[in-house]
Amino acid sequence: MFIARAIPFMLALVLALVHGVFVGVAYAQTTELRFVTWRSEAPEVWNQGIADFERQNPGVKVIREIGPQSSTQLHDLLTQKLKNRDPRLDVFVMDVIWPAEFGSAGWTLPLDRYFSKSEQQGFLDAPIAANRYRGSIFGVPLFIDAGLLYYRKDLLTKYRVAPPRTWTELVDAAKKILTAANDPQLIGYSGQFKQYEGLICNMMEFILGNGGKLWDEVAMVSALEQPAARAAVRFVRDRIIGEVSHRGVLAYEEPESLALFTEGRAIFHRNWPYAWAVANDSERSKVAGRVGRAPLPGFSPAQGAAALGGWQIGVSRYSLQPELAWRFAAFMTGANMQKRIALATGRAPTRRALYDDPEIDKKMPQLKSLLETFKQAAPRPVTPVYAPLSNIMQRYFSSVLALHNTDIDKRASFAGRDMNRVLDLLRDRSTP
């Protein structure tokens, strides 16, 4: 009986060993470059690109480890390797809010030696700024995102409403259309208000649009208790969610909020640039061709703010082949790859020159008009302690929006106090 039970076990063990040996033998004669990333929406482009790189660098094999799309899950996975100085990680993708954290922790290789200031000039300013910390550059921007306003062109035309230039105009326009259309399924505004990182992007667009800030970068203290910030938050709770949206948005991330818009159930919608292609795809959207896009409004005209998003490529400080890793990072963010990715996925490139490229212009004619928005996109606090700050802010915003009759001023001061306690940790350091 023992033998009978041992056989399957031995079989499993043998299978595992064979698998391991196979894998080992296959890669024995090549240099491996390990790249942790999420799965792209255009796998052919990435596969092709990687094949090209391997051809240009004979003897090199790029091994991709695919992680989840969820930024938090990918973060968990990456930090686990990096904090243990795993040498089998060479290159990885970084969310726009990670470079300062990873750079400070000593996980990403400072790239100044390879990525000169003049080279950096070839990229848009905002993403470069997000990749810089304490004088060094820690990542190369791959593509850029910024918050935009989408709206139902047909509804605005039908009810003779102009595209709003301020948030108040937007609320009034939404109310006017809602009353006139008398459609119980229609809501005025769809955004991302779940307690997650995206909430910060949405809320900061309102706060900055009111002349407020999330933090005072120079003094390194929270700015949430300032009147402008508090007023903006109050506006979102009372007028956006209270009057023209529905409670469901408090559980929405990008997919759900976009789905509401593409089903024709929202007049206004806030999302990243990618939503344009989805909303105009007649197979996936009921409102294809009836969609307009504009920069987000502010509280006074032309004071609109857009949150900066996007992904970058970083090199691990513990990589055993930093030169090769850099070459790969440079290749993936090179003009050629960025162009291919842009054409295939609609992602906005980070290299300035590509905004004048005729092919891109032809395929994505609105891209050029977004350039201004991209140039002014506001980053979230670029600091190694962004993660705790984000959790504090998420808690604050979500509490104010989801609970009833919250005392905004009190909660703002609590959040500010918590943020300052975290920021105080940075003061221990002696100046460089």
Residue found under tokens 């080279």: 119
Q: Which stretch binds another protein (CB under 8 A): 38-46, 116-124, 231-239, 326-334?
A: 38-46
Alpha-carbon distance of 21 to 113, in angstroms, equals 38
State how far the alpha carbon of 57 is from the alpha carbons of 33, 111, 325, 331, in Å.
11, 21, 12, 11
Distances (CA, A) of 413 to 281, 393, 420: 45, 11, 10
**Could you say whether residue 428 binds another protein (CB under 8 A)?**
yes
Q: Which of 52, 54, 65, 154 binds another protein (CB under 8 A)?
A: 65
166, 321, 398, 420: residue in contact with another protein (rule CB under 8 A): 398
Residue 84's contacts (CB-CB under 8 Å, 6 or more residues apart) are none
Q: How far is the CB of 162 from another protein (least distance, A)?
A: 28
Residue closer to another protein (CB basis): 14 or 353 = 14
Interface with another protein in residues 70-109 (CB under 8 A) = 70, 72-73, 75-77, 79-81, 83-84, 86, 101, 104-106
- In this complex, which beta carbon is closest to another protein, that of residue 50 or of residue 161? 50
Interatomic CA distance for residues 121 and 102, integer angstroms: 23
State yes or no: residue 32 binds another protein (CB under 8 A): no
Name residues contacting another protein, limited to 167-206 (CB under 8 A).
184-185, 194-196
Number of other CB atoms surrounding residue 99 within 10 Å: 28
Please, what is the minimum distance in Å from the beta carbon of residue 116 to another protein? Answer: 27
Question: Hey, which residues does 208 pair with through a beta bridge?
Answer: none
Q: How far is CA 2 from CA 13, 15, 155, in A?
A: 16, 20, 75
* 307 is a site residue for another protein (CB under 8 A): no
Per CB under 8 A, 112 contacts another protein: no
CB 331 within 8 A of CB 185: no
Interatomic CA distance for residues 252 and 250, integer angstroms: 6
* Residue placing its CB nearer to another protein in the complex, 294 or 402: 402
Q: Which of 182, 136, 124 is nearest to 158 (CA)?
A: 182
Instruction: At 366, list the tokens.
Output: 């609105």
Output the DSSP codes for 267-327.
EEEEE-TTHHHHHT-TTT-TTTT-EEEEPPPBSSTT----BEEEEEEEEBTT-S-HHHHHH
Which helix (DSSP H) or strand (DSSP E) does residue 143 occupy?
strand 140-146
Least distance between another protein and beta carbon 6 (Å): 8
8 binds another protein (CB under 8 A): yes
Tell me which residues in 375-394 interact with another protein (CB under 8 A): 384-385, 387-388, 391, 394
Under the binding rule (CB under 8 A), the answer on residue 56 touching another protein is no
Of residues 49 and 198, the one with the C-beta less far from another protein: 198
User: 51 or 353, CB closer to another protein?
Assistant: 51
Q: Name the minimum Å distance from CB 119 to another protein.
A: 27
Per the listing, tokens 């304490």 go with 134
Q: What is residue 243's DSSP assignment? A: I
- DSSP element (H, E) containing 80: helix 71-83
Side chain identity at residue 83, one-letter code:
K
Q: Which one, 120 or 338, has the nearer CB to another protein?
A: 338
Rank residues 246 and 339 by Cβ distance to another protein and give the closer one.
246
Q: Tell me whether residue 81 or residue 213 sits nearer to another protein (CB atom).
A: 81
End-to-end CA distance of the chain: 70
Number of residues engaging another protein in binding (CB under 8 A): 79
Rule CB under 8 A: say whether 272 interacts with another protein: yes
Find the binding residues for another protein in span 314-373 (CB under 8 A).
none
Q: Does 409 bind another protein (CB under 8 A)?
A: no
Q: Does 263 bind another protein (CB under 8 A)?
A: yes
- Choose, by CB under 8 A, the member of 181, 231, 250, 344 that binds another protein: 250
